[in-house]
Amino acid sequence: MRIICPHCGARDRREFTYQGDAVALERPAPDAGGAAWDDYLHNRENPAGVTRDLWYHEQGCGAWLVVTRNTVTHAVLTTDLAATVREGLA
């Protein structure tokens, strides 16, 4: 598997550390309530298809990435810097 790091280009999967769903970027406010925090911390989709998750280019440039990929075909569709995605949310 290859992931295209926005800084480093296409790199072998072994350079990256998998984290989990990209929902982790959308941290609720402290007073958002139990349901919002439950969703943020625990509830995850398990799609057969396109999913967005976080990878850390740990053995590379150290950038956190949002990787959009297909769990069925294993195709890596797009990768973005988590910082850029987060700035877009703000």
Partner 1 sequence: MRLDGKGQIDRNSPVSFSFDGRRYQGFAGDTLASALLAHDVRLVARSFKYHRPRGVLTAGSEEPNALVTVGQGAAQDPNIRATTLELFDGLEARSQNRWPSLEWDLLALNDLGAPFLGAGFYYKTFMWPRAFWEKLYEPVIRRAAGLGALSGQHNADTYERAHAHCDLLVIGAGPAGLMAAKLAADSGADVILCDEDTRTGGRLNADTQEIDGLPGALWAEEITAELAAMENVRIMTRTTVTGAYDGGTYGALERLPHAVASRKGAPKETFWRIVAGQAVLAAGALERPVAFRNNDRPGIMMASAVRAYVNRWAVSPGRAVTLFGNTDSIHRTAADLIDAGVHVAALIDARPDATCDLDLRFYPGGQVCDSAGRKGLEAISIATPSGIDKIQTDCLAMSGGWNPSVHLTCHMNGRPVWNPEIAAFVPQPGMVPGLTAAGACNGQFSTHQCLTDGLTAATTALQALGRRAAALKSPRAEDTPYAITPLWSVPGKGRAWLDFQNDVTVKDVKQAATENFRSVEHMKRYTTQGMATDQGKSSNTAALAVLADATGRSIPGTGTTTFRPPYVPTAIAAMGAHAQGTGFAPQRFTTSHRASLDAGAPMIEAGLWYRPSVFPAPGETHWRQSCDREVGMVRNAVGVCDVSTLGKIDIQGPDAAKLLDFVYTNRFSSLKPGRCRYGLMLREDGHVMDDGTTARLGEHHYVMTTTTAAAAQVMRHLEFTHQALHPEWDVSLISVTEQWAQFAVAGPKSRDLLNGLLDKPLSNDNFPFMACGPASIKGTKARLFRISFSGEQAYEIAVPARFGDSLFRQLVARAETLDGGAYGMEALNVLRIEKGFLTHAELHGRTTAFDLGMARMISDAKDCIGKTAAQRPGLTDPDREQLVGLKPVGAIKQLTAGAHLFTAGDAPTRENAQGYVTSVAFSPTLGHFMGLAFVQRGPARLGEVITLVDHLRGITTRVEICDPVFFDQDGGRARG
Partner 2 sequence: MADLTAKTPCAGLLPLSIGTLTLTEVDPGHMTAVAPLKGQTSALSEALKTAHGMALPAPNRATGKDGARTIWFGHAHSLLIGPAPDPSLAQYAALTDQSDAWAVVRLEGPGAADVLARLTPLDLRAPQFKRGHTARTDLMHMMASITRTGPQAFQIMVFRSMAHTLVHDLKTAIEAVTARAG
Interface residue list for partner 1 (CB under 8 A): 1-2, 10, 12-13, 17, 19, 24-25, 27-28, 30, 34, 37, 40-41, 54, 56, 58, 62-64, 73-76, 81-87, 90
CB-nearer residue toward partner 1: 17 or 47:
17
| Closest to 45 in 3D by CA, of 13, 23, 17, 68 | 23
Q: Are 67 and 79 in contact (CB under 8 A)?
A: yes
Query: What are 38's two structure tokens?
Result: 């439950």
Query: Cβ–Cβ contacts within 10 Å for residue 74, how many?
Result: 8
Q: Is 63 in the site for partner 2 (CB under 8 A)?
A: yes
Residues that bind partner 2 (CB under 8 A): 7-9, 11-12, 14-15, 57-63, 81
